[in-house]
């Protein structure tokens, strides 16, 4: 067992940012109990003990970009973990808000590479628009299903795939994928290499600036082994300064699409601060007015960003 005090000293001296690999300008933000995380996953029917060999999990922030990442990196899930998760949750690979928004950006006849294509939900949406879609996926069960349905999906890492496909795609996209990656620099760099100059990089991730992490520190699926990092407006915008990219637009999922869950999280807040007490009171007296108000004030759970390769 690693001594926590010694580990913290070592981390402060040597912790480099996964997004800016030559920078050790990072800050320890939060510490989590590994045992509590294991317990929470067990409630979902998932056994994750194998990913933890210490007492704690740490959350760091890259001070150059605002990107937050969990450590140790070996606490992040493998292909077997995601297979188990997809089999235990019916809606894990499902049509999403980001898919519909991304479709509006693509043109008829475009080539699209989706990294982390799951069971092909988005790839199937491309066909009616005559968009040529290909996918990469590490879950062997999902790849098999896609191939059986006639979809062009390969079980490959983007870092390997791009060796033979540099500059071939009009668009590269990944939805709810980047937050699972430890080597974010290598992953994004490789995905940009697959793009033509002027092509679009489309990224959909959870928006970790809002209510979810603020009011529920131990939200199970926002922690390792499911999530490796946390993204928000600042860290996503910073990608312009790290890669040959120009930010074109940033869209936030409307809160009304997940309002019931948002309200549930707010009402569960045990601190009973002024904000929570006001929400509780207004929800009893004027629930419709409260919904309209909060949907104007708060961003939703997910964010979609569109970059152009320069």
User: Residue for token digits 């006639």?
Assistant: 150
Query: Per-residue pLDDT tens for 165-190?
Result: 999 999 999 999 999 999 999 999 99
- Does residue 194 carry a pLDDT above 90? yes
Residue 211 has pLDDT above 70, yes or no: no
Residues of the chain with CATH 3.40.50.150: 92-205+240-252+303-309
297 token code pair: 């004030």
- The separation between CA 179 and the C-alpha centre of its own chain, rounded to angstroms, equals 3
Looking at every residue in the chain, the average pLDDT score rounds to 90
Q: Which two tokens stand for residue 5?
A: 């005090």
Q: C-alpha distances in angstroms, 144 versus 19, 95, 125, 158?
A: 32, 19, 19, 18
Under the banding of pLDDT at 50, 70 and 90, the label for residue 19 is very high
Task: Tell me how far apart the alpha carbons of residues 118 and 92 are, in angstroms, rounded to a whole number.
Answer: 9
Helix (H, G, I), strand (E, B) or coil at 227: coil
The SS3 of residue 244 is coil
Q: How many CB atoms lie within 10 A of CB 186?
A: 15
Does residue 4 surpass a pLDDT of 70? no
- Average pLDDT estimate for 61-85: 92
Asked which of 137-151, 253-267, 276-290 is least confident by mean pLDDT, the reply is 253-267
Looking at the predicted structure, is the pLDDT value of residue 260 above 70?
yes
Which CATH fold topology does 92-205+240-252+303-309 show? Rossmann fold (3.40.50)
**What pLDDT, on the 0 to 100 scale, is given for residue 113?**
99
How are beta strands 26-33 and 56-62 bridged, if at all? antiparallel
Quote the pLDDT of residue 270. Answer: 53
Give the span between the Cα atoms of 62 and 229, in whole angstroms.
11
Q: How far apart are CA 221 and CA 130, in angstroms?
A: 35
pLDDT at 255: 85
Structural tokens at position 63:
């001070």
pLDDT at 1: 45
Q: What is the largest CA-CA distance in the chain?
A: 61
């Amino acid at each position: 067992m690693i001594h926590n005090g010694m580990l913290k000293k070592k981390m402060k001296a040597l912790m480099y940012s996964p997004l800016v690999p030559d920078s050790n300008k990072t800050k320890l933000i939060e510490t989590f109990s590994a045992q509590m995380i294991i317990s929470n996953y067990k409630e979902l029917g998932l056994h994750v003990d194998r990913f933890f060999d210490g007492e704690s999990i740490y959350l760091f922030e890259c001070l150059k970009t605002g990107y937050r990442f969990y450590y140790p990196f070996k606490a992040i899930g493998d292909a077997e973990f995601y297979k188990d998760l997809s089999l235990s949750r019916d809606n894990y690979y499902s049509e999403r808000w980001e898919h519909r928004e991304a479709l509006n950006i693509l043109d008829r006849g475009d080539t699209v590479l989706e990294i982390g294509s799951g069971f092909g939900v988005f790839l199937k949406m491309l066909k009616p628009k005559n968009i040529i879609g290909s996918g990469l996926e590490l879950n062997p069960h999902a790849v098999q299903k896609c191939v059986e349905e006639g979809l062009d999906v390969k079980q490959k890492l983007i870092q390997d795939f791009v060796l033979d496909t540099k500059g071939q795609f009009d668009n590269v996209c990944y939805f709810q994928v980047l937050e699972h990656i430890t080597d974010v620099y290598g992953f994004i760099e490789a995905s940009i290499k697959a793009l033509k100059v002027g092509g679009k990089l489309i990224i959909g991730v959870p928006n970790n600036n809002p209510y979810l992490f603020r009011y529920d520190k131990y939200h199970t699926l926002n922690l390792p082994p499911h999530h490796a990092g946390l993204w928000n407006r600042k860290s996503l915008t910073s990608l312009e300064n790290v890669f040959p990219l120009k930010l074109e637009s940033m869209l936030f999922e409307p809160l009304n699409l997940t309002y019931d869950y948002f309200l549930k999280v707010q009402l569960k807040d045990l601190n009973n601060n002024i904000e929570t007490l006001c929400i509780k009171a207004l929800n009893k007296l004027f629930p419709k007015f409260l919904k309209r108000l909060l949907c104007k004030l708060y961003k939703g759970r997910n964010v979609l960003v569109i970059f152009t390769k320069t």
